Amino acid sequence: MIRREQPDLSGALDSDGTVTLVFIDIVASTVLVGRLGDHAWLDLLRRHNAIIEQTTAAHGGSLVDTQGDGSMLAFPSARRAVACAEAIQSAVRGAFLDVSPPIAVRIGVHTGDALREEDHFFGTTVHYAARVASHALGGEVLVSNVVHDLVAGPGIDFHESREVELKGLNGLHQIYAVRLMQMNEPAIEQMGPHA
């Protein structure tokens, strides 16, 4: 088991009580475990988690939780959260060139009100962010319509919106893929959503 200290979430809420949550998941992790073996997988996971922790701290966020190959981050700013997600995609792409098949992560970002109890967040915002992430392709950062509206402007570009169903949430929802800088390779579509 990978152990870490309890997160300090005191700075994760914005002054108005909102939080931006980021969910990260390694695509096709079961395939990777089978191909690499348990020991090599654990080494890879430690490297991956170190990237997540360092990049999150550098962008003023908090690592809320890690379970298996997934992570949940919290930020007081949607712009910082998106910048962190972009940096994580770039770092993961560069850090695992020695691994085949290539490591790819899917990332989802959503901003809203969340209940905070000790070292965790709860509520619809948490589920919404996780559902946005589940629609991302490997190598992609997806954001909710709320995040798009908060951060759209100089420095962050988006692809056309997608209208999707988010499991357990009523209606259709607009999500946007961030146009990642300095990434010439397309998202890994063969390892699409839910892989």
Taking the C-alpha atoms of residue 4 and residue 1, their distance in angstroms, rounded to an integer, is 10
Q: Is residue 6 in some structural domain?
A: no
pLDDT score at 114: 86
pLDDT score at 97: 87
Q: What is the mean pLDDT of residues 80-93?
A: 96
Cα radius of gyration (the chain):
16
Q: Kindly tell me if the per-residue pLDDT of 160 is higher than 80.
A: yes
Name every residue whose Cβ is closer than 8 Å to that of residue 97 and which is 6 or more positions away in sequence.
none
Burial class (CB in 10 A: 0-12, 13-18, 19+), 134: middle
What are the Cα distances from residue 167, in Å, to 55, 56, 88, 178?
A: 29, 27, 26, 22
Q: Kindly tell me if the per-residue pLDDT of 43 is higher than 50.
A: yes
Q: Is residue 187 in some structural domain?
A: no
Q: What is the pLDDT of residues 51-60, one digit of tens each?
A: 999 999 999 9
Q: What is the mean pLDDT of residues 78-84?
A: 96
Q: What is the mean pLDDT of the chain?
A: 85
Instruction: Show the domain range for 84.
Output: 18-182
Taking the C-alpha atoms of residue 21 and residue 154, their distance in angstroms, rounded to an integer, is 22
pLDDT score at 174: 94
pLDDT grade for 19, boundaries at 50, 70 and 90: very high
Q: Kindly tell me if the per-residue pLDDT of 181 is higher than 50.
A: yes
Q: Is residue 11 in some structural domain?
A: no
Q: What is the pLDDT of residues 96-140, one digit of tens each?
A: 988 877 899 999 999 999 888 877 889 999 999 999 999 999 999
Taking the C-alpha atoms of residue 192 and residue 50, their distance in angstroms, rounded to an integer, is 25
Q: Is residue 104 in some structural domain?
A: yes
Q: Kindly tell me if the per-residue pLDDT of 183 is higher than 50.
A: no
What are the Cα distances from residue 166, in Å, to 19, 65, 98, 147?
A: 20, 22, 35, 16
Q: Is residue 195 in some structural domain?
A: no
Count structural domains, the chain: 1
Write out the E strands in 14-156.
18-26, 62-67, 70-75, 105-113, 115-117, 120-122, 141-144
pLDDT score at 180: 81
pLDDT grade for 184, boundaries at 50, 70 and 90: very low
Name every residue whose Cβ is closer than 8 Å to that of residue 77 and which is 6 or more positions away in sequence.
14, 20, 60
Taking the C-alpha atoms of residue 24 and residue 136, their distance in angstroms, rounded to an integer, is 10
């392709």: which residue's tokens? 137
Q: Is residue 188 in some structural domain?
A: no
CATH number, domain with residue 173: 3.30.70.1230
Q: Is residue 38 in some structural domain?
A: yes
Residue of higher predicted confidence among 61 and 154:
61
Q: Is residue 1 in some structural domain?
A: no
Taking the C-alpha atoms of residue 118 and residue 1, their distance in angstroms, rounded to an integer, is 22
At 6, list the tokens: 């309890």
